[in-house]
Amino acid sequence: MELRTLKTFVAVATLKSFSAAARELHTVQPAISRQIADLEAELGVSLLWRNTREVRVTAPGEALLEEAKRMLALEVQARKRVALAASGQTGTLRIGYMSSACASFVPSLMRDFAAQHPDVTLVLHEMTAQQQLDAFAREEIDVGLSRPLPMELRETLTALPMYEDELMVVVPEGHRLARRKRLALRELSHEDFVLFQRDQATGLFDHIISACGDAGFSPRITRQPALMQTLLSEVAAGLGLAIAPACIRRLQCDGCHFITLRPALGAVPLELHYPSTPSRPVIEAFVTLVETAIPAIRAQMA
Amino acid sequence: MELRTLKTFVAVATLKSFSAAARELHTVQPAISRQIADLEAELGVSLLWRNTREVRVTAPGEALLEEAKRMLALEVQARKRVALAASGQTGTLRIGYMSSACASFVPSLMRDFAAQHPDVTLVLHEMTAQQQLDAFAREEIDVGLSRPLPMELRETLTALPMYEDELMVVVPEGHRLARRKRLALRELSHEDFVLFQRDQATGLFDHIISACGDAGFSPRITRQPALMQTLLSEVAAGLGLAIAPACIRRLQCDGCHFITLRPALGAVPLELHYPSTPSRPVIEAFVTLVETAIPAIRAQMA
DNA sequence: ATGACTCATGCCGATAGAGCATCAATTACT
DNA sequence: AGTAATTGATGCTCTATCGGCATGAGTCAT
């Protein structure tokens, strides 16, 4: 039993004529006769009662007709679903992101993607860069928005730079440097520092440490909070200064001043990460959308 | 897209191996590779991501997998339904019958058939012989239980004699003949007659009229009821005598006496009628059942 | 009675597909 | 590290299937 055969059977049963079915299927009548005869032989049943003047559908024929129609309907549905899935317009997209760096543009990105792919379920997971790495390994997320990841993973994960955050100094209100417009890093050599946990943002942490080294000192670290919001609170409480990406200005931050570094440290990029081996079309569709959205995001974050 | 192709696709996607699928399907691995490649070419998408060590199902592949499984399930269901329909174990059987002649054995017949064919819906229509004829013409019933039908229909309808009813004389209580054990037809030549409508039972009516003719008289007909029950009431009311098949003794009949005719008139058979052109297996199954039940029915009606 | 139509059948040729051998790539086991 | 084994891909040949043509047989209408 093949779909091809079933198509001709449905045509014959519907048109009640072998010849008419042949015309409709762009073939000749003997081909139809053969297919029906073979089908009947295979099932061991007469499906169509026919003489030279009339074609009738037998009871088993009626039964087969129903099921055949369902199967053929499933075929066109299958084609549609495959096409949808292939263009990434179906399925689930799981996104890991850091709210500190992404809160301002992620919502509009989601809105645009949902508009283009209404049948895709979006799942957002707030997580640090390290958590995103683990999640990629466990295949719990499809794309991630974070700072650059360790080099050894560049093979399995592809990185797309989105925008860059300058590093700024965060000082509490009333601090001796709080009124300054700009600072050089070396001026901070004797300060206490509050730095984001190395575990949670290895790249950023190491970047700052090595910059301090270049400036001729090794920072004295008093606190290592896990959340950006905690970091700001601790700075405001006077536990130390922080060096952090400019984006955290957008968080609630009473009692904190943000001061530009001059000469500037290397800016830290925010990247979109996704599996290098092309896995699912939804992912590619999302990457494409992000690529087109990059100019707008850069303008917004400048 | 063919069911054969889909079977191999499902096998590969399930086993996650081309070679294993080949073994399962009793063919060789290159055949599998070709089928999958052709299917992908036809749909214009990659369904299986594969290298020499690993086979993964892509997003479109997952979509197709679901639909393919449904289609294959429908195929086995179709085979089952066709087999059921072919053995007459499914569908609807519409039966026309005359309660006067059949009330005593139809119920047990229905019970036996329903036991053998639990998935067949039985529809019973109480109707006279004439109504059954019309119903056959309109294809509203599949089989009919009635007295013999006009000869001209013997081609389209086949008749299976089931049992025979002797004709008896029905006289009201208190009638001058009511005490007699047996009568000759000629003794009734000056009686009034109540006969069943010719429209509704042409064969029976003509049979009686010609018998009277043979006996040397033409019956004076005073009433022509349409229902057997009415006929009995009218006889009981003294409107005339009736000649009717013995089976009506089984109806409620206070005030009526049934008297054997001697010499006997030709007995009237009760027949099962069904389309001569083999149409649906359910019908054949019912005919077969009736054939086996005939001895029991004859014993019951004797 | 003949012609126009139906579906069935015999034959031929093209072609799709199975099977074999082989290749390239990766893993596992020495 | 090197070899053996296994994976899927590819090129080839051969066969069986199937479409198309010609034709036959049966039915209906003119």
Residue nearest to nucleotide C21 (CA to C1'): B30
Angle between helices B29-43 and A59-86 (to 10 degrees): 70
Q: Which residue on chain B is closest to A45 by alpha carbon?
A: B86
- Predicted pLDDT at A154: 66
Best of A71, A117, A279 to mutate (most B CBs within 10 Å, chain B) = A71
- Type of residue at B14: T
- Predicted pLDDT at B151: 66
Across the interface, of A56, A79, A281, the residue whose CB is closest to B43 is A79
Q: What are phi and psi of A46, to 5 degrees?
A: -85, 120
Q: Are B83 and A45 in contact (CB under 8 A)?
A: yes
Question: Is pLDDT at B152 greater than 70 in this prediction?
Answer: no
DSSP output for B179-202:
T-SEE-GGGGTTSEEE---TTT-H
Return the closest-CA partner of residue B95 out of B122, B66, B68, B61.
B122
Flag if A59 and B83 touch (Cβ within 8 Å).
no
Integer Cα distance of B203 and B148 in angstroms:
6
Within the 272-301 window of chain A, which residues sit less than 8 Å (CB to CB) from chain B?
A: 277-282
- The closest nt to A40, taking CA to C1', is C8
- Type of residue at B64: L
Is residue B59 within 8 angstroms of chain A, CB to CB?
yes
- Predicted pLDDT at A262: 85
| pLDDT tens track for A22-66 | 888 888 889 899 899 888 888 888 888 888 888 888 888 889 999
Flag if B91 and A59 touch (Cβ within 8 Å).
yes
- Predicted pLDDT at B50: 85
Flag if A1 and B75 touch (Cβ within 8 Å).
yes
| A300: helix, strand or coil | helix
CA of residue A10 to C1' of nucleotide D23, angstroms: 27
CB atoms within 10 A of CB A255: 14
Q: Collect the ranges in chain A with pLDDT lower than 50.
A: none
Question: Is pLDDT at B248 greater than 90 in this prediction?
Answer: no
Flag if B282 and A62 touch (Cβ within 8 Å).
no
Integer Cα distance of B205 and B202 in angstroms:
5
Residue nearest to nucleotide C5 (CA to C1'): A53
Across the interface, of A2, A66, A278, the residue whose CB is closest to B3 is A2
Per-residue pLDDT averaged across B175-193, rounded?
Answer: 89
Return the closest-CA partner of residue B85 out of A38, A49, A65, A63.
A63
Mind telling me how many Å the CA of A43 is from chain B's nearest CA? 7
CA terminus-to-terminus distance, chain B: 64
| pLDDT tens track for A76-94 | 999 999 998 888 788 889 9
Listed in sequence order, the residues at least 6 apart from A179 whose beta carbon sits closer than 8 Å to its beta carbon are none
Residue numbers in A near B71 (CB within 8 A): 3, 71, 74-75, 78
Listed in sequence order, the residues at least 6 apart from B89 whose beta carbon sits closer than 8 Å to its beta carbon are B117, B118, B119, B120, B282, B285
Determine whether the distance from the CB of A18 to the nearest atom of strand C is below 7 Å: yes
DSSP code at position B231? H
- Predicted pLDDT at A101: 76
Within the 28-47 window of chain B, which residues sit less than 8 Å (CB to CB) from chain A?
A: 43-45, 47
Flag if A59 and B282 touch (Cβ within 8 Å).
yes
Q: What are phi and psi of B167, to 5 degrees?
A: -85, 135
Q: Which positions on strand D lie below 7 Å from a protein C-beta?
A: 6-11, 18-22, 25-28
Integer Cα distance of B234 and B242 in angstroms:
9
Per-residue pLDDT averaged across B30-34, rounded?
Answer: 89
CA of residue A281 to C1' of nucleotide C24, angstroms: 28
Per-residue pLDDT averaged across B139-156, rounded?
Answer: 82
Flag if A59 and B1 touch (Cβ within 8 Å).
no
What domains lie within chain B, and their CATH numbers? Answer: 3-86 (1.10.10.10), 91-164+269-301 (3.40.190.10), 167-266 (3.40.190.290)
Integer Cα distance of A98 and A78 in angstroms:
38
Flag if A70 and B74 touch (Cβ within 8 Å).
yes
